[in-house]
Amino acid sequence: MALPEPPLLAMHGIAKRYPGVVALDAVDLEVRRGEVHILLGENGAGKSTLMKVLAGAVRRDAGDVRIDGRPVDLGDPRAAQRAGVSIIYQEFNLVPHLSVADNLYLGREPRGRWPGLIDRRAQARNAARQLEALGVALDPQARVADLGVAEQQMVEVAKALSIDAKILVMDEPTSALTEKEIERLFAVIRSLRARGVAVIYISHRMEELFQIGDRVTVMRDGRHVGTCLLADSTMDELIRMMVGRSLTEQFPKRTARIGEEALRVEGLNRRGVLHDISFSLRRGEIVGLAGLMGSGRTELARAIFGADRIDTGRIWLRGRAVTIGSPQQAIREGMGFLTEDRKRQGLVLCRDIEENTSLAHLGRFTRAGVLSPRRAAETAGRLAAELRVKTPGLGQRVVNLSGGNQQKVVLAKWLCREADVLIFDEPTRGIDVGAKAEIYQLIQRLAGEGRAILMISSELPEILGLSDRILVMHRGRLAGEFRGGEVTPEQLLHCALGAHPVA
Amino acid sequence: MRFTHVLLLAAAVTGLVAGCGRQSGSSSSATPGKAPGPVIALVPKTLNNPFFLDMQRGAEEAAKAAGVTLVVQAAERETDVERQMQIIENLIQRKVAALIIAPSGSREIVPVVLKANQAGIPVLIVDTRLDAAAMQASDGKTVTFIGSDNYEGGKIAGKFAVERLGGQGRVAVLEGIAGHETGDARVRGFREALKGAPGITLVASQPANWERDQGYTVFQNILQANPTVTALFAANDLMALGAVEAIAAAGKTGKVTVIGFDAQDEARAAVKAGKMAATIAQNPALMGRTAVEKALAHLKGETVPAEIGVAIELVK
Amino acid sequence: MMPPRFLVTHARQAGTVAVFVVLCLILSLLTPHFLTTSNLLNVAQQTVINAVIAVGLTYVILSAGIDLSVGSVLALAGVVLALALQAGWPVPLAIGACVLVGAACGTVNGLLVAFGRLPPFIATLGLMSVARGGALLVTDGRPVSGFDASFRWLATGEVLGIPVPVWCMLGVYAIAHFVLKRTKFGRYVVAIGGNEEASLLSGVPVAACKVGIYALGGGLAAAASVLLTARLNSAQPIAGLSYELDAIAATVIGGTSLMGGQGSVFGTLVGALIMGVLRNGLNLLGVSSYVQQVVIGAVIIAAVLLDSVFKGSKR
For chain A, domains (ranges, CATH) are 9-248 (3.40.50.300), 250-334+420-496 (3.40.50.300), 353-415 (no CATH)
Q: How far is C206 from chain A (nearest CA, A)?
A: 10
User: Beta partners for B144?
Assistant: B124
In a domain, C290, yes or no: yes
Residue C14 located in a structural domain: no
Cα–Cα distances in angstroms (integers) from residue A265 to residues A283, A478, B54, in the given order: 15, 12, 82
Tell me how many degrees the CA angle A230-A231-A234 measures, rounded to the nearest 5: 70
* Greater pLDDT, C42 or C215: C215
Return all residues near B99 (Cβ < 8 A) that are at least 6 apart. Answer: B41, B43, B88, B91, B92, B116, B121, B122, B123, B124
Q: Computed from CA positions of residues A144, A147, A149, A155, in that sequence, does the dihedral angle turn out positive or negative? A: negative
pLDDT at C107: 96
Q: Which helix (H) or strand (E) holds A215?
A: strand A215-220
- What angle is formed at CA A372 by the lines to CA A366 and CA A375, rounded to 5 degrees? 105
Phi-psi region of C255 (alpha: psi -120 to 50; beta: other; left: phi over 0): left
Shortest distance between the Cα of B168 and any Cα of chain C, in A, equals 30
How far out from the chain centre does Cα A42 lie? 13
Domain range enclosing C226: 39-307
Taking the alpha carbons of C285, C287, C289, C294 in that order, is the dihedral positive or negative?
negative
Q: What does the pLDDT read at residue C104?
A: 96
Is the separation of the CB atoms in B273 and B21 below 8 Å? Answer: no
Report the C-alpha gap between A50 and C210 in whole angstroms: 42
Q: How far is B250 from chain C (nearest CA, A)?
A: 28
> A180: pLDDT confidence band, cut at 50, 70 and 90?
confident
pLDDT score at C1? 39
Q: Which residue of B has its CA nearest to C24?
A: B14
Whole-number CA gyration radius for chain B: 22
* Residue C272, domain member (yes or no): yes
Comparing CA positions, the residue from A157, A90, A152, A150 lying closest to residue A341 is A90
Domains and CATH numbers, chain B: 35-148+284-310 (3.40.50.2300), 150-281 (3.40.50.2300)
Contact B2 C42 (CB under 8 A): no
Question: Are C194 and A366 within 8 A, CB to CB?
Answer: no
Q: What pLDDT does B128 receive? A: 87
Nearest residue in A to C188, CA atom: A359
Cβ neighbours of residue B165 closer than 8 Å, sequence gap 6 or more: B171, B200, B230, B231, B257
CB B207 within 8 A of CB B178: yes
Mean pLDDT is highest, among A181-185, B255-259, C229-233, for B255-259
- In chain A, residues 170-229 whose CB comes closer than 8 Å to chain C: none
Q: Mean pLDDT, to the nearest integer, of A205-221?
A: 85
- Please tell me the distance in Å from B30's CA to the nearest CA on chain C: 13
- CA dist C112 to A453, B154, C65, C208, Å? 39, 47, 12, 12
Cα R_g (chain A), whole angstroms? 25
Tell me how many residue pairs between chain A and chain C have CB atoms under 8 A apart: 79
Distance of CA A128 to the CA centre of its chain: 31
CB–CB contact C287 B16 (8 Å): no
Q: How confident is the model at residue C285 (pLDDT cuts 50, 70, 90)?
A: confident
Q: So what's the pLDDT on residue C307?
A: 64
Q: Is B142 helix (H, G, I), strand (E, B) or coil?
A: coil
Question: Contact C189/C97 with Cβ under 8 angstroms?
Answer: no
- At A78-118, the pLDDT tens digits run 888 888 898 888 777 888 888 888 888 877 777 777 777 77
> Following CA atoms A373, A378, A382, A387 in sequence, which dihedral angle do they give, to the nearest 10 degrees?
10
| Residue B294 reports pLDDT greater than 50 | yes
Name the minimum distance, in Å, from the CA of B252 to any CA of chain C.
Answer: 30
Residue A261: beta bridge partners?
Answer: A282
The pLDDT of residue B25 is: 38
**Pick from A441, A452, A440, A464: which is nearest to A414 by CA?**
A452
Residues with Cβ within 8 Å of A188's Cβ and at least 6 positions away in sequence, in order, are: A134, A135, A136, A154, A157
Cβ pair B6:C306 closer than 8 A: yes
- State the nearest Cα–Cα gap between C111 and chain B, in angstroms: 31
Cβ within 8 Å of C, B 226-285? none
Alpha helix segments (H runs only) across chain B:
2-27, 50-66, 81-93, 110-118, 132-138, 150-165, 181-194, 212-225, 237-249, 265-272, 284-299
CB contact under 8 A, C302 and B12: yes
Residue-wise pLDDT tens digits, C126-181: 999 999 999 989 988 778 888 888 888 898 888 998 999 999 999 999 999 999 98
Highest mean pLDDT among A236-240, B33-37, B205-209: B205-209
B 5-34 near C (Cβ less than 8 A): 5-7, 9-10, 12-14, 16-18, 20-21, 23-24, 27-28
**Number of domains observed in the structure of chain C:** 1
Give the closest residue to B221 by CA, choosing from B249, B193, B258, B260. B249
**How many H helices and E strands in chain A?**
16, 22
pLDDT at C142: 79
The answer to the question of residue C54 being in a domain is: yes
- Nearest C-alpha of chain A: how many angstroms from C171? 18
pLDDT of residue C36: 87
Residue of C nearest to A336 (CA): C202
Set of chain A residues whose Cβ sits within 8 Å of the Cβ of C205: 328
Residue C232 vs residues C22, C162, C228: alpha-carbon distances, Å:
32, 19, 6
How much is the pLDDT for C315? 38
Three-class HEC string of B16-64: HHHHHHHHHHHHCCCCCCCCCCCEEEEECCECCCHHHHHHHHHHHHHHH
Residues whose CB is less than 8 angstroms from the CB of residue B294 and which lie 6 or more positions away in sequence, other chains included: B124, B143, B144, B146, B304, B308
Cross-chain Cβ contact C204/A359 below 8 Å:
yes
The tens digit of pLDDT for each residue in A298-327 reads 999 999 999 998 899 999 999 899 999 899
Give the pLDDT band of residue A248 (cuts 50, 70, 90): low
Residue C201, domain CATH: 1.10.3470
The answer as to whether C170 is a domain residue is: yes
Q: Which of A18, A53, A359, A411 to mutate to test the interface with C (most CBs of C within 10 A)?
A: A359
State whether C194 and A349 contact (CB < 8 Å): yes
* Predicted local confidence at residue C71, as pLDDT: 94
CB atoms under 10 Å from CB of A485, counted, come to 10
Mean pLDDT of chain B, nearest integer: 86
Nearest to C142 among B27, B79, B178 (CB): B178
* Residue of chain C whose Cα is closest to the Cα of B24: C287
**Strands, E, within A318-446: which ranges?**
320-322, 335-338, 366-367, 370-371, 421-425
Interface test with A, best of C62, C202, C256 (most A CBs within 10 A): C202
Residue C22 falls inside a structural domain: no
- Which chains have at least 3 CB atom pairs separated by less than 8 Å from chain C? A, B
pLDDT in tens, A24-46: 889 999 999 999 999 988 666 78
End-to-end CA distance of chain A: 66
> Which chain A positions have a beta carbon within 8 Å of C191's beta carbon?
348, 351, 355, 359
